[in-house]
Amino acid sequence: MLKDFRHKDIEEVFKTSIVQQTAYWSKVKKELGARSIACNFKVRSSDIYDCSQKDRNIIADILVIIKQINYKYSIAYVPYGPEIEPGTRNQGVFLEELSECLRRFLPKDCIMIRYDLSWESLWAKEADFYDCNGFWTGPPDNVFQEYRFNFNTVNWNFKKTISNILPSNTIFLDLTKDLAGIKGSMKPKTRYNIELSARKGVSVKIAGIDNLETWYKLYKETASRNRFFLHGMDYFKAVLTIRANNTQSPAEVLLLIADVNNMPLSAMFLVITGNRGTYLYGASASHHKNLMASYALQWKAIETAKEKGCTEYDMFGVAPNPDPSHPLFGLYRFKAGFGGKIYHTMGCWDYPIQPEIYKYFTAVELKSQGFHLN
C-alpha cells in the first residue's frame, strides 16, 4: 500500500492547517526538550479511499514527537496525525502499514506509537449514536471500537487508550462567509454578549512577549479554578516566540488580551496555520464576568483569522454533547454559541511495539491518570 517511505528534514514538513503537524510545532517541542522525526510516503488513492473517481498517487507526510517517559523507555507520539484520512474500511489497514514502516525510524527504547487521530469518528457518521435531540451519544465501549478498527489488519494490534490527550471534540466555524454572515450564524445570546462587551468598554489588543506574565497570571487562575494541567511559563514563551519561517509549514502566533481600563480579564493564543485559525489556549479572570470579555476576545480572534485569509476557525475542545455533568460542558455552552459545526474525532490509539513493556506502561498510566505528552 505505502511506497517510498523515507525520513526527511523537519524543514520539509508539508504545509497543513493542523498546528500539531507543522515544522513550527516540532521546533516548539525541540525548544522544550523533545525531539521529533518526519517521514514522507506515497500511496495510491484507490488503496485508501472507499471509492476513488480517479486513481492517483498521493504524497503525504507525518510528524512524530519522541517523548522520554523515563531513563529507559520512550514513546512515539503523533499529535493529530497522519493528516491523510482513509475511507472507513481502510483506516486500520492503512495505519498498521504506516506503523510498521515507521518503526524502523524509531529509537530502540520506543515501546509504542500513540496516534492522536484527528480523523472523524467512525461512530459520528451513524444515526444509531445520536439521541432523539440529534446530539451525539459518543462511541461504543473500547472493546467494540478495537474490533472494528482492527478488522482486516494483520496483527490486530491497535489499542484504544483510556483517555485522549488532545481534544477529541471541537467546533469548526466557516469563515468563508462575510462577518455579518458569521455573526448571523451565532446564537442570539452570543451576539448580544459580544455587543454588550463593547458597550461595557471591553477592548481587545494583540499583545507581545512583554505581556506574557499578564497571560500567565490569568492562565494560572483558570487552571486553579478548573483543575487542569498547568504548563510552565517557558512553554508559552516557546509557543509565542518560536518561528519556522524557513520551513514549508510555519505558523503565525498571536496573543490576544481583553481588558477594561487596563484590567486584564481574558486572554488567548490564536495560531494561524494554512487556512485555519485555531483557538489554542485560553484563560480568564474569575471576576467581572458580567463584562463578557471572553465574547469580545473570541470575536476579535475570528475577525483576525478571517483578515489573515483563514477559511475556518477551530474552537479547539468541547464536550461531545450538552451534558451538564461533563467537565467541558461550560466550554460547550460557550463555544457552541458562536455557531459552527461540532466535529468528533477518533481520539488516541496505541500501536504497541514492545508488548510486555506496553502492558506495564498502561497499568501505570491507568493508576496515574495518564502521562502528559502534548
321 inside domain: no
- Residue 253: partners with Cβ closer than 8 Å, 6 or more residues away: 239, 240, 242, 269, 270, 271, 272
Judgement on whether residues 162 and 302 belong to the same structural domain of the protein: no
Which CATH number covers residue 263? Answer: 3.40.630.30
Give yes or no: residues 140 and 36 share one domain. yes
Same domain, 217 and 271: yes
Task: Give the Cα separation of 110 and 69 in Å (integer).
Answer: 10
The reported pLDDT for the residue numbered 368 is 65
Establish if 315 belongs to a structural domain: no
Inside any domain, residue 274: yes
> Is 22 among the domain residues?
yes
Which residues are paired to 68 by β-bridges?
Answer: 74
Q: Are residues 16 and 84 in the same domain?
A: yes
Do 190 and 162 lie in one domain? The reply is: no
The answer to whether 105 touches 37, Cβ cutoff 8 Å, is yes
Structural domain includes residue 267: yes
User: Would you say residue 317 lies in a domain?
Assistant: no
Residue 288 in domain: yes
CB-based contact 365:372 (threshold 8 Å): no
Q: Select from 260, 291, 310 the last residue of a domain.
A: 310
Same domain for 49 and 7: yes
Contact between 285 and 266 under an 8 Å Cβ cutoff? The reply is yes
The pLDDT value given to residue 150: 98
Q: What is the pLDDT of residue 34?
A: 94
Residue closest to 99 by CA, chosen among 151, 41, 15, 13:
41
Query: Does 229 lie in the same domain as 356?
Result: no
One domain for residues 57 and 116: yes
Is residue 211 in a domain? yes
For the chain, the domain total comes to 2
pLDDT in tens, the chain (374 residues): 899 999 999 999 999 999 999 999 999 999 999 999 999 999 999 999 977 668 889 999 999 999 998 899 999 999 999 999 999 999 999 999 999 999 999 999 999 999 999 999 999 999 999 999 999 999 999 999 999 999 999 999 999 998 899 999 999 999 999 999 999 999 999 999 999 999 999 999 999 999 999 999 999 999 888 777 789 999 999 999 998 999 999 999 999 999 999 999 999 999 999 999 999 999 999 999 999 999 999 999 999 999 999 999 999 999 999 999 998 999 999 999 999 999 999 999 999 999 999 999 888 887 765 444 45
Say yes or no: 78 and 226 in one domain: no
Q: Answer yes or no: do 145 and 192 share one domain.
A: no
Instruction: Say whether both 111 and 198 belong to one domain.
Output: no
Rounded to 10 deg, the angle between the 188-199 and 293-307 helix axes is 100
Domain with 89, as residue range(s), is 2-167+345-368
Q: All 3 cell numbers of residue 136?
A: 451525539
pLDDT at residue 364, as a whole number: 83
Question: pLDDT value at position 245?
Answer: 94
Distance CA 75, CA 365 (A): 13
Q: Please tell me the predicted confidence (pLDDT) of residue 366.
A: 75
> Does 162 share its domain with 180?
no
